[in-house]
Structure 1
């Protein structure tokens, strides 16, 4: 795995904190460009962020409720999606008295629903003609948003972009 810079770690930590507080959801994580499945948090850090005892995280893993990714050495690594699931599982367990089997099924259905909504948004963009496809660096075909211009192109646009980027 590549070295994670402090700024990247801070961005993921801030996002995890916002997930815990209910200020953002996984759709927002996607929109801001963070990878919700990037395994960045250790057991201790994930437990701290979600305000859950580390042993509870290990128990959830053994039960298959929330299964983190593993490092080559076998250490658990949690991602933003896992943090979101942990918070939801705790809420359902403590506030709604739902058993772990019920929580597992609800979380599965919530994730399926989120994925279907995401696919629906993509299909709507395609139908509206706002999507263009291009090849990524690895050769995979990806979607990009087409920008529609309402005014004629500014001949000084490149210079303006260079100035504002400085």
Structure 2
């Protein structure tokens, strides 16, 4: 559905990424990609050879297209069929549009308040930015509030002493969450 909305112009890659779609995930076969973008499978192969839209490959060598690829295919088709632009022009336009999109994303990241992102390591050990979600912030605030409701260490010790428990090695108490 997302790919169809992108091809129809009702959605874009930035919006798809914002709502959680992995726009780089290679899920569409040659047939599905061709049908979605209204491009003949032989044209897809030509675009791959020319470097216009280069899909990822399965271990067996089959092409798999991502949402980003589908968007590029639809744009290439529209530029070629409706605007009469040649493949060299289409390649340059798509490169510039991708560069523009990346610059807009960087500007958006720079506009976010400090502390709205955290950084983590990806599977290859590279550093990736992970945006903090509102739900995670609310969860941490609730944990802190709950921790403030816990009795103090001293009051627990006093209560245990009254009960005859010396809080020896068999007792474990977890204190506050930061």
Q: Residues 37-61 of structure 1: CA distance to partner in whole angstroms, max 9, x if unpaired? A: 1000000010111111111111111
- 5+ long unaligned stretches in structure 1: 1-13, 159-166
Bigger Cα Rg: 2
2:69 matched residue in structure 1:
82
What is the match of residue 6 of structure 1?
Answer: none
Partner of residue 111, structure 1: 98
Query: Does the aligned pair in 1 maintain the 2:122–2:128 contact within 8 Å?
Result: no
5+ residue gaps, structure 2: 147-178
Q: Is the Cα–Cα contact under 8 Å of residues 26 and 64 in structure 2 kept in the other structure?
A: yes
Taking only aligned residues, the RMSD between alpha carbons, in angstroms, comes to 2.4
Higher relative contact order (CA 8 A, sep 6+): 1
Post-superposition shift, 1:134?
5.0
- Count residues in correspondence: 138
Aligned equivalent of 2:8, options 13, 21, 32: 21
Task: For residue 92 of structure 2, give the secondary structure of its aligned residue in structure 1.
Answer: helix
Report the Cα distance in structure 2 between the residues aligned to 1:141 and 1:44, rounded to whole angstroms: 33
Residue matched to 2:149: none
Query: Where do 1:10-159 residues align within 5 Å?
Result: 14-125=1-112, 128-129=113-114, 131-135=116-120, 140=127, 142-145=129-132, 147=134
Contact 1:130–1:146 (CA under 8 A) maintained in structure 2:
no
Cα separation, 2, equivalents of 1:60 and 1:113: 22
Tell me the TM-score normalised to structure 1 length: 0.74
**Relative to structure 1, is the Cα distance of residues 116 and 42 closer, same or farther in structure 2, using a 3 angstrom cutoff?**
same
Distance 1:89 1:27 in 2: 18
TM superposition shift of 1:29: 1.1
Where do 4+ consecutive residues of structure 1 move more than 3 Å? Answer: 134-143
Deviations 1:94-136 (A, max 9, x none): 11111000000110010011011001100110xx335142546
TM-score, reference length from structure 2:
0.69
